[in-house]
Amino acid sequence: MTFEEIQKEAKADWDSLYHGRAPHILIGTATCGRAAGAMPVVEAFNEELARRNVQARVTEVGCIGLCSLEPLVIVVKPDSFAVCYHNVTPQMVPTLVESYIQNDDPCLDLALGTVEAVEGEAVYIPELSRFEHEHRLLMRNCGYIDPVNVNHYIANGGYTSLVKALQMEPAAIVEEIKKSGLRGRGGAGFPTGRKWELCRRTPVQPKYVICNADEGDPGAFMDRIVLESDPQQVIEGMIIAAYAIGATEGFVYIRAEYPLAIERLTVALEQARRLNLLGDNILGSGFSFDIEIVQGAGAFVTGESTALMYAIEGKRSMPRARPPRSVKAGLWGKPTVLNNVKTYAYVPLILSRGADWFSGIGTENSKGTAVFALAGKLVNTGLAEVAMGTTLRQLIFDIGGGIRGSKKFKAVQIGGPSGGCLPEEMLDTPVDFDSLRRAGAIMGSGGVIAMDEDNCMVDTAKFFLDFSQRESCGKCSTCRLGTKQMLDILEDITAGRGRIEDIDLLIELAEDIKDGSLCGLGRTAPNPVLTTIRYFRDEYEAHIVEKRCPALVCKELIAYYILPEKCERGCEHCVLVCPVEAISTTEKGIKVIDQAKCSKCGSCQLVCPPEYNAVIRLSPPDSVPARRVEKSG
């Protein structure tokens, strides 16, 4: 089959989705959608359609990126417009089927908006305020196409770049990528074109192409969404990379914790092979290349490129000293190009729309877009793709919708365990590789976690260090022992045993770990501690000097207290829920917590009815008012 024939078939298949004769229901069933209950919704649609004998198709799609609104359902109706519904439950399904599929009421009160622009009251989704700040390149198809139907990708322009690339000189492709200014999206931001060129010029065969999908940062899931929603763009990018550097074998190293991404990628690879877009003699060009999936077994350090190559070889993934660089001697000692999922996904776009188009987006030294996973205390959690140079403020307030409830923004953590916590006054920092590094954070994996006044910065630093310390591979003693020492100090501080000189000791240890560690994990592990000291030193001092946790988080520095004047005497919620039987009732019926017994689980505060709101936290713990002496009862 020629590529024109493939395209023609793909177009027909795609048209049946959005312009078919029967209604079509698209349900977002990426991992996050499933967690929010998408699978029972799929089942409910199938049952309801069968029960009413309605001819309609149900297709599972990827994720549009609006996690807090999942499950999301798009109903495509012939001769009408497509509507996207949010927070869909199985109970809503009969209404949707009856109102819009069988009749003409689009139920706009349940809808997020319309997928096509229509006249009238309906909101057009791309015009939602958050999307005005977004610039979707990698996520353009996510949630709209069937990730396990290669035709949908092809019908939307997919694989034309590969066809174009196969007619180009490999060196010209490398030139184009260099000209685009694309930098690696794994976090460090090494120029992709230069990496490819170095590998291309190494006169050793065979060569390998590796895609790093070992997204290990707790709180980041962009790569997973890309692979679960539109995997073909990554495959196409890898094939082009292989052609450009002269590789015949490729690997996708992906976390075993991402079973759905693995499943969808496996199907996508199979479909690409069937159309001869992958495999022997691709599209008759004489160029052969195939991709194998390797499942990671869970080790954060494997995300480091030299470590990852050892993992593919079946060894312990411990980073090694460079040189030699992987582009000269990587996997099995052969020249290897390793890039992140998103880096490969940009490649087809750059070839089809041109390096100049790509370099027109973003800032002087950081081109294109960046995908962030927004989480924490935000109104709109989920994924956002923005042009490089967008400020953190826009990301958090315009797209993320600001902090939930009436709480105040305190800090944003960006870059995961290797990144840093930035305060309010740094929110005008543009998100690009260099600005973030100057602020003490890093672009890293792209996890963005917003924190409010209820989050303790010392505890946050301790959390990340605990993670890095567990995940240290142990090769460099500064990392293995240094992170443990830092963690011990932070544990002392959060338990009220800190000394004021500990702050300087932490900084000193941090510098030594940075200097004495081989890989990125060790060199960046102190960042969360350093940035919290830099921007929130007063919180460290409160813990150390006053034995007080200002955010009322650190267990050993807080106490739970029931305000006698607020306690509704007849209510027993807290008494019943307390797992350690620390709450008793006085003669007057007021509940009192026995501080010696209290395990500080917070259950009493959670169950105290909001109209009483009698349970509070106090810090330091000795600020609990002494109990009035009452007659023994």
Partner 1 sequence: MEELRKELADILLADRKDRRHLIALLQKVQQKLGYLSREAMLAIADYLKIPESTVYGIATFYNQFRFVPLGKYPVKICMGTACHLAGGALVLEAMARELDIEVGGITPDHEFSLERVACVGCCALAPVVVIGDTVYPRMTPPKVEELLVTIKPASKKAAK
Closest distance to partner 1 from the beta carbon of 150 (Å) = 25
Closest distance to partner 1 from the beta carbon of 405 (Å) = 13
Amino acid identity of residue 337, one-letter, is V
For 26, left (φ over 0), alpha (ψ -120 to 50), or beta?
beta
> Which positions from 77 to 116 touch partner 1 by CB under 8 A, shown as an x/- string?
----------------------------------------
Q: Which residues pair with 73 in a beta bridge?
A: 27, 85
> Between residues 154 and 451, which has the closer beta carbon with respect to partner 1?
451
Closest distance to partner 1 from the beta carbon of 455 (Å) = 6
> Between residues 317 and 478, which has the closer beta carbon with respect to partner 1?
317
420 binds partner 1 (CB under 8 A): no
With CB under 8 A as the contact rule, the residue among 7, 391, 413, 532 that binds partner 1 is: 413
Tokens in use for 517? 């560690």
Pair 358, 367: CB distance under 8 Å: yes
Closest distance to partner 1 from the beta carbon of 73 (Å) = 17
> Between residues 236 and 459, which has the closer beta carbon with respect to partner 1?
459
Closest distance to partner 1 from the beta carbon of 152 (Å) = 24
> Between residues 76 and 411, which has the closer beta carbon with respect to partner 1?
411
> Which positions from 356 to 395 touch partner 1 by CB under 8 A, shown as an x/- string?
-----------------x-xxx---xx-------------
CA distance to 309, 467, 474, per residue, from 522 (Å)? 18, 12, 10
Of 257, 192, 186, 195, nearest in space to 222 by CA: 186
HSE of 300 in the Cβ direction (CA atoms, 13 Å)? Answer: 23
Closest distance to partner 1 from the beta carbon of 125 (Å) = 18
CA angle 302/306/307 to nearest 5° reads 30
606 binds partner 1 (CB under 8 A): yes
> Between residues 112 and 299, which has the closer beta carbon with respect to partner 1?
299
d(CA 370, CA 357): 16
> Between residues 309 and 426, which has the closer beta carbon with respect to partner 1?
309
With CB under 8 A as the contact rule, the residue among 6, 17, 26, 32 that binds partner 1 is: 32
> Which positions from 35 to 54 touch partner 1 by CB under 8 A, shown as an x/- string?
xx------------------
Number of H helices, E strands in the chain: 24, 18
> Between residues 235 and 608, which has the closer beta carbon with respect to partner 1?
608
Render the burial of 34-51: b for 16+ CB within 10 Å, e for the rest: bebebbebbebbeebbee
d(CA 207, CA 249): 7
As a dihedral over the C-alpha atoms of residue 411, residue 412, residue 416, residue 417, rounded to 10 degrees, the angle is: -20
DSSP 506-563: HHHHHHHHHHH-SSHHHHHTTHHHHHHHHHHHHHHHHHHHS---TTS--GGG-EEEE-
447 binds partner 1 (CB under 8 A): yes
Q: Which residues pair with 386 in a beta bridge?
A: 370
31 binds partner 1 (CB under 8 A): yes
d(CA 287, CA 209): 15
544 binds partner 1 (CB under 8 A): no
Closest distance to partner 1 from the beta carbon of 537 (Å) = 21
Closest distance to partner 1 from the beta carbon of 221 (Å) = 4
Pair 342, 351: CB distance under 8 Å: no
Closest distance to partner 1 from the beta carbon of 468 (Å) = 12
Closest distance to partner 1 from the beta carbon of 465 (Å) = 12
The residue with tokens 């992709």 is 192
| Alpha-carbon radius of gyration of the chain | 27
Of 16, 279, 240, 252, nearest in space to 146 by CA: 16
579 binds partner 1 (CB under 8 A): yes
> Between residues 287 and 372, which has the closer beta carbon with respect to partner 1?
372
Of 396, 395, 496, 411, nearest in space to 453 by CA: 411
Segment 51-80, which members bind partner 1 (CB under 8 A)? 67-68, 70
DSSP 3-state of 199: helix
Pair 215, 392: CB distance under 8 Å: no
Segment 292-321, which members bind partner 1 (CB under 8 A)? 294-295, 297-300, 311-317
> Between residues 362 and 447, which has the closer beta carbon with respect to partner 1?
447
> Between residues 195 and 224, which has the closer beta carbon with respect to partner 1?
224
607 binds partner 1 (CB under 8 A): yes
Q: Which helix (H) or strand (E) holds 460?
A: helix 457-471
With CB under 8 A as the contact rule, the residue among 212, 271, 455, 483 that binds partner 1 is: 455
> Between residues 154 and 558, which has the closer beta carbon with respect to partner 1?
558
> Between residues 81 and 463, which has the closer beta carbon with respect to partner 1?
463
> Which positions from 203 to 242 touch partner 1 by CB under 8 A, shown as an x/- string?
-------------xxxxxx--x------------------
- Count interface residues toward partner 1 (CB under 8 A): 56
d(CA 510, CA 246): 42
3-state SS of 106-175 is CCHHHEEEECCCCCCCCCEHHHCHHHHCCCCCCCCCCCCCCCCCHHHHHHCCCCHHHHHHHCCCHHHHHH
Closest distance to partner 1 from the beta carbon of 291 (Å) = 16
> Between residues 284 and 602, which has the closer beta carbon with respect to partner 1?
602
> Between residues 32 and 76, which has the closer beta carbon with respect to partner 1?
32
Binding positions for partner 1, rule: CB under 8 A: 31-32, 34-36, 67-68, 70, 216-221, 224, 256-258, 294-295, 297-300, 311-317, 373, 375-377, 381-382, 413, 416, 447, 449, 451, 455, 460, 463-464, 467, 473, 577, 579, 599, 601-603, 606-607
